[in-house]
Each structure stands twice: as C-alpha cells, then as structure tokens.
Amino acid sequence: MGEMQGTRLEVDVTNIAHGGISVARHDGRVIFVSDAIPGERVLVEITEDRKKSFWRAETVEVIEASPHRQPHVWAEASVDRAPEDRAGGAEFGHIEIGHQRELKRRVLVDSIKRMAALDTDVEVQPIAGPADGTGWRTRLRLHVAEDGTLGPYSSRSHRVIPVTSVPLAAPEVARITPLTERFTGSTHVDVVAPSGSNSFVIAGDANAKGRPKAQTIVEVVGEREFRLDVRGFWQVHQAAAQTLTTAVQDAIDETRFDPRAANQDLYGGVGLLAAAVGDRFGPTTRITTVESDSLATDHAAENLQEWLGAQAITARVDRYLQQLKRTGVSLDGSTVVLDPPRAGAGREVIDSLADLGASQLVYVACDPVALARDLGFLSAHGYRLERLKAFDLFPNTHHVEAVATLVRD
C-alpha cells in the first residue's frame, strides 16, 4: 500500500479519459477519478498510488457540481453511497444523457487524433429507446455472492452488491430478473429476452467443465429472423442490431462494391452483418462470414442460406487470413466488414488485410482506443478514412459504438 492511499484531496476535474474515468491533477500529477464530470470540483479519496505517473481516486463528495450532473439513474450506484457499495455497470448514469454523448464524442475524436494522427469529428447519435437511456438491455448478467445473493459487481471490485432494481434492463428483462432469490451452487445468472422467442433466466457456473447445453433462440431484425444459442453473442441494446444493420449498409461505398468479389464478414457471429450486406446488394452477393465459435457459425450458415454465394467458416480471423495468403487468394475489389471484440483487430489482422489487397473496409468498433490504434495501422498501409459514424448503443455507460469506412485507391 502506498503512502498516499486513503488520503483525501480536493481537486478540479478537467477532462474525460477512456473508460468513463475523469482526469484531475494535483501538484502536476495526473489523478484518474471515478464518478466525476469535467468542470467539477470534488473531494476524492486516493485508492491507488503505486504508479509513479498517475494515481486513481474515488469521488466521495461533489463540492461544485457540473450543470450536467443529474440524480443517478440507478440509486444503488449513486455517489451518495460509499464507493465500495456502488453498483457497477452504469458509470455515466450521473450525467445528463446529451452530455454523456458529448463526452463519448470527445474520447473518440481525441483517441483518433492521438493514435492515428487524423483530424475528424463525429456526432454520437442516440438510438431508439427511452430518452433517459434506461430500459434497453436485452441481456443482463448478475453475479452470485457466497451466501447466494444475486447482484451486479461493485464498480470497483468483484464484490456482489445487492440491488432492488435494474434500470438499464429492458422491461421484460427487469420483470423476470430474480433479484430476491438465492442461487447457491452458481457463480452467475444470465437473463435473456430475445425479440423473437421466449425469455430465459439461466444460472451458470463459471467453474464447470465443458460447454453448457445449446439452446436456440430467435432474434428478429426488420423482416429477418436470426437463430443463435441463448448464450451466444448478440447486440445487447434492443435497437442495436437494426441500427448496425442500417449503419453498415450505409457505410459501404456502392461504387466500390463488387457483389462477385471475395467479400468478407470477419468476427461475424451468427451472420447479422453478412445478411445486412446481402440484403443491400441482392441475392447474387458473394460473402464469407468468419467466426471462431463453431456453434455461431453453424447458426450463421442457417441464417444466410438464402444467398447462394454466402458461406460460414469456423476459424480464428488471423489464421483464416494467413490461409488466404498461403493459397494465393486476392481480396482486390472486395469489401471487408469487420466487427472485432473490444481489443480490436490488431496489427497482424490489419497487415494481412492490406497484403491481401482489400479495397474497402467497414470497421465496426465498440472501443474507441482500439479503433484509433487500428486506424493508425490502416493509414500506414494507404487506407484513408472516408466516413465515420458513432452510435450510443450503451447509454448510461462509457461505451460507444463506431462504424468507420476505409478505402484504398
């Protein structure tokens, strides 16, 4: 434990950093502060001072509040509680919703400027749902304490916080979430409310060996149905799948799209974005969706069966692209949609796409820093950022979704 740990200081909060954390300074040292808003003066308690370059701290009292501060949308996460007792998962819930989007815009634009040396601007667009950004989660994972109590983790630790409400949950999820029940023998409980089939409460054990029994659900996007496993990946916000379908369709430069080229949907899950491409460009569209989860690719094959040129491959994306290079496949003229996990695609995948000659990339990103890093790699390979859109798919949290179009002439 460092000598400053537990010390309380008054600080002025000047900026927002990635991860929903605000930035303050004390005697020239950077302090990363939770539960504050740029422009505020707050009393903080130092929680970590082991790093020479910065400290971490919790807000314990707001001395001069931002005009953008609001009562927290989740009472159990409020700054009125001791920091260790604040529920995690709604770390922007104390900020007025329009200003949340402005802070997300700043993080995205600043990250791209810093890491990719690109000047860009973007509006973080709201999507369909309650105006205060509650009631959107179709999937919710809660954790089980040693005594069987259910709740979210504390925002600072793996301590389970008992709660009486789950305000970010969609109404059906909130209705069936068993907050008062005890779950001994489980480590977590998932609540899933699909748009096209029954809702589920599933107790799980993270320590269990093997894969749990598969259970198929249906999600509906527009006129189309997608089948997937109840534990499989699907966008969490009830309007997100439709928003991203439209965003990817709009992001493709049709003058550069060749339906007969070796078009790709990488990290494709159960085929949502491959179907978006097929629906935009018609039944002759060739597209290969690639996903490492074999259960998801089984579902993708089924979900994409109406396109003769569609196929689903189970593979890690980096290895799949290496295989294309070894077999002499060219992606010249092709459009590549990629929706990587939070860590982003990374240098190896970007290098392979450039080597293979992909003409147009539509990059769907849930992490602005990973996107900015990868835009830097792409820029070095001669790709230019043609357009960038951002969507508030995770209101009342720090997360933001971006869709970038990159082309190489």
Mapped onto helix, strand or coil, the DSSP state of residue 354 is helix
CA distance 312 to 301: 5
CATH of domain 8-69: 2.40.50.140
**Least confident stretch, 8-12, 206-210, 277-281:** 206-210
Binding positions? 235, 267, 291, 339
CA distance 404 to 109: 13
How many CA atoms does the CB half-sphere of 311 hold within 13 Å?
A: 7
Mean pLDDT of 248-269: 97
Rg (CA), the chain: 22
Strand ranges, E, within 35-127: 41-48, 54-64, 124-125
pLDDT of residue 208: 85
What confidence category does residue 348 fall into, taking pLDDT thresholds of 50, 70 and 90?
A: very high
Catalytic residue among 109, 160, 366, 400: 366
Binding positions for S-adenosyl-L-methionine? 235, 267, 291, 339
pLDDT of residue 48: 86
Domain 101-130+237-407 CATH superfamily = Vaccinia Virus protein VP39 (3.40.50.150)
Known active-site residue 375: no
Average pLDDT, the chain: 96
Angle formed at CA 31 by CA 29 and CA 35, multiple of 5 degrees: 160
User: C-alpha 347: how far from its chain's center?
Assistant: 20
Q: Write out the two tokens for 87.
A: 């529920």
Query: Closest Cα to residue 133, out of 92, 194, 104, 192?
Result: 92
Q: What are φ and ψ of residue 113, in 5° steps?
A: -65, -45
Taken in order 303, 309, 313, 317, is the CA torsion positive or negative?
negative
What confidence category does residue 2 fall into, taking pLDDT thresholds of 50, 70 and 90?
A: low
pLDDT of residue 315: 98
**Least confident stretch, 25-29, 140-144, 221-225, 236-240:** 25-29
What confidence category does residue 273 fall into, taking pLDDT thresholds of 50, 70 and 90?
A: very high
Q: What is the pLDDT of residues 282-311, one digit of tens each?
A: 989 999 999 999 999 999 999 999 999 999
CA distance 301 to 291: 11
Angle formed at CA 17 by CA 14 and CA 22, multiple of 5 degrees: 45
How many CA atoms does the CB half-sphere of 186 hold within 13 Å?
A: 18
Q: Domain ranges in the chain? A: 8-69, 101-130+237-407, 139-221
CA distance 202 to 219: 18
pLDDT of residue 111: 97
Does position 43 have pLDDT exceeding 90, yes or no? Answer: yes
CA distance 352 to 126: 34
Residues above pLDDT 90, as percent of the chain: 92
What confidence category does residue 49 fall into, taking pLDDT thresholds of 50, 70 and 90?
A: confident
Does position 1 have pLDDT exceeding 60, yes or no? Answer: no
**Least confident stretch, 22-36, 207-221, 350-364:** 207-221
Query: Closest Cα to residue 399, out of 249, 174, 170, 236?
Result: 236
Q: What is the pLDDT of residues 23-41, one digit of tens each?
A: 999 998 999 999 999 999 9
